[in-house]
Structure 1
Amino acid sequence: MHIAIAGNIGSGKSTLTRMLARHYGWEPRFEAVEHNPYLEDYYKDIHRWSFNMEVYFLKERFRDVIEIQQSSNTIIQDRSIYEGVYVFMENNKAMGNLSDRDYETYMELFEQIMDVVKFPDLMIYLRCSVPHLVGNIQKRGRDYEQQMQLEYIENLNRRYDDFITNKYKGPVMIIDKDELDFEHEPKDFAQIIDRIDQTLFGLFSPLKP
């Protein structure tokens, strides 16, 4: 089984991934952030490094998807291959950070990858307001993230909502993160567990609210 955690930068994806992996005994998969050779340069000069970074992420996510599909374990993944394309890549294109040539090359590669990729069994989307995201980003204090513009975070948030509502065709569970502190409040985490149990192991199929 394949579970994916979706959400904007600072939404708590990695934290929820770790907690759910520990609770259910699932195998966690995390994005290559700390060891990404392009990320720091990207935030210093987004226009120059967008194509390089997006191709790197696509390569890493495709490798993860293949390994997940071949695994006999239940795997919970921190961010899916779809978000990299429909949120981050599309946002960079809209902001003028990629040429038409680079965008077309990237999308042709992605479309070929989709021939061998299946939807996760469940995508859990952590929906957050921009102030909530900014507060979390400031709190964790990663140097390269402190250089992000507010407009960039706002654009990503709009694209995440559009992606989940209008573009993604797989099963989705939406969690309003502003209302929850699942890391520190056991009752909030229990609420998420109850929803997952009902969706994956109960009588009902996952639905978008």
Structure 2
Amino acid sequence: MDQQVPFIAVEGPIGVGKTSLSNKIASHFYYHLLREIVEENPFLEKFYENIDEWSFQTEMFFLCNRYKQLEDIQKHYLNAGKPVVSDYHIFKNTIFAKRTLKEEQYEKYRKIYDILTEGHPKPNVLIYLTASLDTLIERIQLRGREVEQNIQASYLEQIRQDYEDFMDEFEQNHPDIPVIRLDGDKLDFVKNSSDLDEILSLIEKHIFKGEVIS
């Protein structure tokens, strides 16, 4: 692997519990936690009200902020030998942009994305957390973010399926990056310590023993 210092990324659709799991991983292994900038996006509330009108502004804000975050993480942590766990990875941007942008907008966006992410740090373990639409809706309602209250169920289901398709392709194209797939409908790592222990054991098997997780 190009990046030997542990860099774990947790990914999955909106509301699946990425930040909760990342917090627990960071606390257990004493890793630096990189948290996704979400509510700070000034276009997000307008985006959920009118996706077509505000998608480009929303996606560009996310791209620039995530690029800067990864640049800082690489400089101040990974290059200094300090492990990191992140509740996202920048590749997720293409999932959302491809879904929300018009073709001409996406072509422009993709060119900028490719330039900004060339040479960016890649995770050496990727945790993919997914769940059913009902579970995602329930968790979004429970966490109560005001900007997310206008998310349409149809959009959420599209993103959930887009993640599935992307992750299948990701595993084919990146055999050097182990993917741990977790079913959020069956695992409750917040309430059940045994579920969390199982996840931490899978991570530890790879990070500390160099074994490939299948």
TM-score by length of 2: 0.89
Distance 2:27 2:199 in 1: 14
Q: Which residue of 2 aligns with 1:81?
A: 90
Moved more, 123-132 or 64-73: 64-73
Q: Which residue of 2 aligns with 1:91?
A: 99
The one-character-per-residue Cα deviations of 1:97-131 (angstroms, maximum 9, x if unpaired) are x3333211100011112322232111111021111
Distance 1:31 1:61 in 2: 7
Distance 1:150 1:57 in 2: 22
The answer to whether the Cα contact below 8 Å between 2:188 and 2:195 also exists between their aligned partners in 1 is yes
Please give the secondary structure, in 1, of the residue aligned with 2:185.
helix
The answer to whether the Cα contact below 8 Å between 2:23 and 2:33 also exists between their aligned partners in 1 is yes
**Deviation of 1:203 (Å):** 4.6
Distance 1:66 1:128 in 2: 30
Give the number of aligned pairs: 201
Q: Determine whether 1:180 maps to 2:183.
A: no
Q: Determine whether 1:56 maps to 2:61.
A: yes
The answer to whether the Cα contact below 8 Å between 1:4 and 1:124 also exists between their aligned partners in 2 is yes
Please give the secondary structure, in 2, of the residue aligned with 1:178.
coil
Q: Which residue of 2 aligns with 1:45?
A: 50
The answer to whether the Cα contact below 8 Å between 1:128 and 1:176 also exists between their aligned partners in 2 is yes
The answer to whether the Cα contact below 8 Å between 1:2 and 1:68 also exists between their aligned partners in 2 is no
Distance 1:63 1:206 in 2: 30
Distance 1:102 1:197 in 2: 41
Q: Percent identity?
A: 32
1:199 aligned to which of 195, 200, 206 = 206
Moved more, 65-74 or 101-110: 65-74
Distance 1:193 1:103 in 2: 37
What amino acid does structure 1 have at the position aligned with 2:99?
N
The answer to whether the Cα contact below 8 Å between 2:202 and 2:213 also exists between their aligned partners in 1 is no
**Deviation of 1:190 (Å):** 0.5
What amino acid does structure 1 have at the position aligned with 2:44?
L
Please give the secondary structure, in 1, of the residue aligned with 2:91.
helix
What amino acid does structure 2 have at the position aligned with 1:150?
A
2:152 aligned to which of 149, 159, 172 = 149
Mind listing any 5+ residue stretches in structure 1 that lack a counterpart? 93-97
Mind listing any 5+ residue stretches in structure 2 that lack a counterpart? 1-5
Distance 2:103 2:187 in 1: 40
The answer to whether the Cα contact below 8 Å between 1:29 and 1:78 also exists between their aligned partners in 2 is yes
Name segments (4+ residues, structure 1) moved above 6 Å. none
Q: Determine whether 1:171 maps to 2:178.
A: yes
Root mean square deviation, CA, Å? 1.4
TM-score by length of 1: 0.91
